[in-house]
Structure 1
Amino acid sequence: MDIAIRAARRAEYEPLGEITAQAYLQDDLLTFGESDWYLGELRDVAKRAAVADVLVAVDGDRLLGGVTFVTSGVHMAERATAAEAEIRMLAVDRAARGRGAGEALVRACVDRARATDGCTGIVLSTQPIMRAAHRIYERLGFVRAPERDWNPIPDAGDFVLLTYQLTF
């Protein structure tokens, strides 16, 4: 597979939104399933592309997945400090998994963060069950930052997102 990473095109917003939503649904990552409010956020690529960089992994004309790269100060940056960038909504189509698309997307975000003036690191949140993603992050030098773990849904009981960070 010859994977390329580039900026998402408008015509790809809807299919990328569906890939992202399906990845979260199929992997049981949404607290409230199909009725989860976050499903709409996952599908709304145009909304996040208006304030952040949405990158896609492609093999020729085939869309494999995508990620949102957020710089500090943007409202989508939920865990980043003023000197950090943040990775959001990483998703790879289930049929394309295991081929390096997820890792290529994370590497592209790290490269963008390193190239951003004043940026000293990059951070991301992940769920405990996302073990394959954790292996990618750790392989790329990210470390757990348990002091930054958080609960984005107070009504969801003990739901917690784990934080990983990479400092330059």
Structure 2
Amino acid sequence: MSEIVVRAALPAEFGEVGALAVAAYDADGLLSADPKYVQTLSDAAGRAEHAELLVAVNPAGELLGSVTVVRSGTRYSEISREDELEFRMLSTSPSARGRSVGEALTRAVLDRARELGLRRVVMSSLDAMKTAHRLYGRLGFARLPDRDWQPVPGVWLRAFAVEV
């Protein structure tokens, strides 16, 4: 992970960040359940306006992944409460898979929660995201079943949390 730098996304990168998120979700077959989600993933500028948009880059500046960091009660929050930080739309470029990009981004979210003095990080994930679930488990996340929910009928998101 030492070759990965996590930082705030630059406005000039928003188009590429949105395209990367769509490509990542599409590569995993995750867009068929809710095709309208492409608009949300594509709108990196909107996410950066209402949340923190972090990117992972290599030393050459190549975009490897991104994550949206959300405060409770804001436009992109789904399950977070007042003393929690939430993350959404964790995306790794299909060409950067297996290089610990998702881990670097998730660890950056955990660090951000500590900086903000929050006690917990929460997130939601589709059942199909098994690779991500293994990562979250390694980082100490546990299921939070009382916050499972359906963004659209028939599509369940499973909630996870970790104390920081």
Q: What TM-score, normalized to structure 2?
A: 0.94
Query: What amino acid is aligned across from residue 110 of structure 2 in structure 1?
Result: V
Name the structure 1 match of 2:112: 112
Q: Does 1:62 align with 2:62?
A: yes
Which runs of 5 or more structure 1 residues have no equivalent in the other structure?
none
Q: Does 1:97 align with 2:108?
A: no
Say which SS state the counterpart of residue 151 (structure 2) adopts.
Answer: coil
Note closer, same or farther for the CA distance 1:25–1:161 as it changes in structure 2 (3 Å cut): same
- Correspondence 1:14-163 to 2 at 5 A: 14-32=15-33, 36-59=35-58, 60-117=60-117, 119-154=118-153, 157=154, 159-163=155-159
Q: State the 1:129 CA deviation.
A: 1.1
Query: What amino acid is aligned across from residue 114 of structure 1 in structure 2?
Result: R
4+ aligned runs moved over 3 Å, structure 1: none
Query: What amino acid is aligned across from residue 57 of structure 1 in structure 2?
Result: A
Q: State the 1:31 CA deviation.
A: 3.3
**Whole-angstrom distance in 2 between the partners of 1:75 and 1:31:** 24
Say which SS state the counterpart of residue 110 (structure 1) adopts.
Answer: helix
Say which SS state the counterpart of residue 30 (structure 2) adopts.
Answer: coil
Say which SS state the counterpart of residue 80 (structure 2) adopts.
Answer: coil
Note closer, same or farther for the CA distance 1:82–1:141 as it changes in structure 2 (3 Å cut): same
**Whole-angstrom distance in 1 between the partners of 2:32 and 2:145:** 21
Query: What amino acid is aligned across from residue 81 of structure 1 in structure 2?
Result: R
**Whole-angstrom distance in 1 between the partners of 2:108 and 2:72:** 17
Query: What amino acid is aligned across from residue 31 of structure 2 in structure 1?
Result: L
**Whole-angstrom distance in 1 between the partners of 2:75 and 2:8:** 20
Q: Deviations over 1:18-44 (max 9, x none)?
A: 0101111121112356xx111011000
- Identical positions, percent: 44
Query: What amino acid is aligned across from residue 160 of structure 1 in structure 2?
Result: W
Q: What TM-score, normalized to structure 1?
A: 0.92
Q: Which is richer in strand? A: 2
**Whole-angstrom distance in 1 between the partners of 2:136 and 2:4:** 19
Name the structure 2 match of 1:7: 8
**Whole-angstrom distance in 2 between the partners of 1:84 and 1:31:** 30
Which runs of 5 or more structure 2 residues have no equivalent in the other structure?
none
**Whole-angstrom distance in 2 between the partners of 1:44 and 1:57:** 18
Q: What is the RMSD computed on CA atoms of the aligned residues?
A: 1.2
